[in-house]
Amino acid sequence: MIKLENKIDKIKAILQKNDYRVTEGRKEIIKVFVNSNRHLSPLEVYELVKDKNISLPTVYRTIDILKSNGIIKEVSFNNERYFELKLFSQKCMHIHFRCQKCGKIIDIYDTNIILKLIEIRNELEKQYDFLIEDVSATLCGLCSECRKG
């Protein structure tokens, strides 16, 4: 497993290679994603870094830069944007489920379902001559806790 500082250094190198400055603010935002194991909205990221004198526009700009450089991945639910670390992620392909009542986001890793998703991707590539580089599947409904409550 790659250490935290090594991950941050690798991300900094990617950004610098693409002519982005890595300010202290951007470094703090990068740390948030590297340390997180959940999906974060821009406002959640801001709440975690605002005490370090980092503005909300800086958070949004940095998120856009990290996304465009393949470092984080966007997951959208009902026009709400969430982000998770893509680079160094231990997560294999997975499906997102968002509870419409409590807002919880659950990652689904069921092997049989993922294999079916891969089959669908392969069939689409074959049938339409696509090269699909990423698959994102999102389900919405009520989680088991909210269904009981």
Q: What is the pLDDT of residues 102-126, one digit of tens each?
A: 989 888 888 888 888 888 989 999 9
pLDDT band at 78 (very low <50, low <70, confident <90, very high): confident
Q: The domain that contains 73 carries what CATH number? A: 1.10.10.10
Q: What φ, ψ does residue 75 adopt, rounded to 5°?
A: -130, 120
- Does residue 74 fall inside a structural domain? yes
% of the chain beyond a pLDDT of 70: 96
Same-domain status, 58 and 27: yes
**Domain ranges, residue 10:** 4-85
Distance from C-alpha of 129 to C-alpha of 133, rounded to nearest angstrom = 13
Q: What is the mean pLDDT of residues 116-144?
A: 89
Residue 92 annotated as binding site: no
CATH assignment of the domain containing 114:
3.30.1490.190
In a domain, 14, yes or no: yes
Q: What per-residue confidence (pLDDT) applies to 32?
A: 97
Please indicate, yes or no, if residue 17 is contained in any of the structural domains.
yes
Any bridge partners for residue 73, and if so which?
A: 84
Whose structure tokens read 């997102």? 96
**103 and 80 in one domain?**
no
- Look at residue 92 in the predicted model and tell me its pLDDT: 65
Task: Provide the token pair at 28.
Answer: 């703090």
143 annotated ligand-binding residue? yes
pLDDT digits (tens, 9 = 90+) for 14-57: 999 999 999 999 999 999 999 998 899 999 999 999 999 999 99
Residue where a domain stops, chosen among 50, 66, 85: 85
Instruction: State residue 90's pLDDT score.
Output: 59
The answer on 100 and 79 residing in a single domain is no
Query: Please, are residues 21 and 30 in contact by the beta-carbon 8 Å criterion?
Result: no
Q: Is residue 64 part of a domain?
A: yes
Query: What would the two tokens of residue 26 be?
Result: 């951007």
pLDDT higher for 5 or 102?
102
Residues 82-99, mean pLDDT to the nearest whole number? 80
Last residue of one domain, picked from the residues 63, 85, 107: 85
> Does any domain span residue 19?
yes
Find all residues with CB under 8 Å of 33, minimum gap 6, and list them: 40, 45, 66, 71, 72, 83, 84, 85
- Based on the fold, state whether residues 70 and 110 are members of the same structural domain: no
Which residues, in sequence order, are bridge partners of residue 107? 96
Asked if the model's pLDDT at residue 1 lies above 60, the reply is no
Q: How high is the pLDDT of residue 91?
A: 61
> For the chain, what is the domain count?
2
Both tokens of residue 140? 């919405």
| Residue that terminates a domain, selected from 58, 85, 112 | 85
Output Rg (C-alpha) for the chain, integer angstroms: 17
- pTM assigned to the model: 0.72
| Spatial separation of the C-alpha atoms in residues 65 and 15, rounded to whole Å | 8
pLDDT confidence tier of residue 89, bands split at 50, 70 and 90? low
